[in-house]
């Protein structure tokens, strides 16, 4: 890929939009290191996101996300980064993301997300009686923050991981 990147390529979007899978694929193709902020935090804390939410609460987790961005910024390395679905909601985080590199929003419809993540027990915010409704409400609330954070938007509905990856690479060639 020929992105004129000063630094990193960052994927944002709702849970299940494919950020991690697409990010890994892009990193492999471009021989860049890959970082997923959820995994980074899990390693630093030596426990799962689910346990962090249960034992320390969401606010503590959100502070860890901001801390993670500060650390990545300090390292000054070019890489592909995928971030947790709620990370771009904080204004401070959006500013840090822009400093880290080019931000791409992987946009999906609620039905696509629901089909992909139904039955998943690893995402604490979706453990409700009506996850379909929760997904729709959260996505509507988050849309403006995602749009503010991103320079580019890619629609992922009905596309495979490979197709989304190729679309991003294609944009990089233009």
Give the separation between CA 107 and CA 109, rounded to whole angstroms. Answer: 7
Is 84 or 101 the residue whose CB approaches ligand S3P more closely?
84
3-state secondary structure 13-61: CCCCCCHHHHHHHHHHHHCCCEEEHHHHHHHHHCCCHHHHHHHHCHHHH
Give the separation between CA 44 and CA 38, rounded to whole angstroms. Answer: 10
Is 30 or 38 the residue whose CB approaches ligand S3P more closely?
38
CB of 59 to ligand S3P, least distance (A): 12
CB of 124 to ligand S3P, least distance (A): 6
CB of 51 to ligand S3P, least distance (A): 11
Tell me the residue ranges of DSSP E strands in 29-156.
Answer: 34-36, 80-82, 101-107, 152-155
CB of 29 to ligand S3P, least distance (A): 21
* Strand (E) or helix (H) holding 10: strand 8-12
Is 86 or 101 the residue whose CB approaches ligand S3P more closely?
86
Is 124 or 172 the residue whose CB approaches ligand S3P more closely?
124
Return residues touching ligand S3P (CB under 6 A). Answer: 15, 38, 49, 84-86, 123-125
């Amino acid at each position: 890929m020929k992105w004129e990147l000063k630094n990193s390529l960052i994927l944002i979007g709702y849970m299940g939009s494919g950020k991690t899978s697409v990010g890994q694929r892009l990193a492999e193709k471009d021989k860049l290191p890959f970082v997923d902020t959820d995994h980074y935090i899990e390693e630093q804390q030596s426990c799962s996101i689910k346990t962090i939410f249960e034992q320390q609460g969401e606010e503590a987790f959100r502070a860890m996300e901001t801390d993670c961005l500060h650390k990545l910024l300090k390292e000054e390395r070019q890489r592909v980064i995928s971030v947790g679905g709620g990370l771009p909601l904080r204004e401070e985080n959006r500013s840090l993301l822009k400093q880290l590199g080019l931000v791409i929003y992987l946009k999906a419809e609620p039905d696509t997300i629901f089909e992909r993540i139904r039955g998943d027990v690893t995402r604490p915010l979706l453990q409700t009686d009506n996850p379909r409704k929760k997904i729709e409400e959260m996505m509507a609330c988050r849309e403006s923050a995602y749009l503010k954070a991103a320079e580019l938007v890619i629609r992922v509905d009905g596309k495979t991981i490979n197709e989304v990856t190729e679309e991003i690479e294609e944009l990089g060639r233009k």
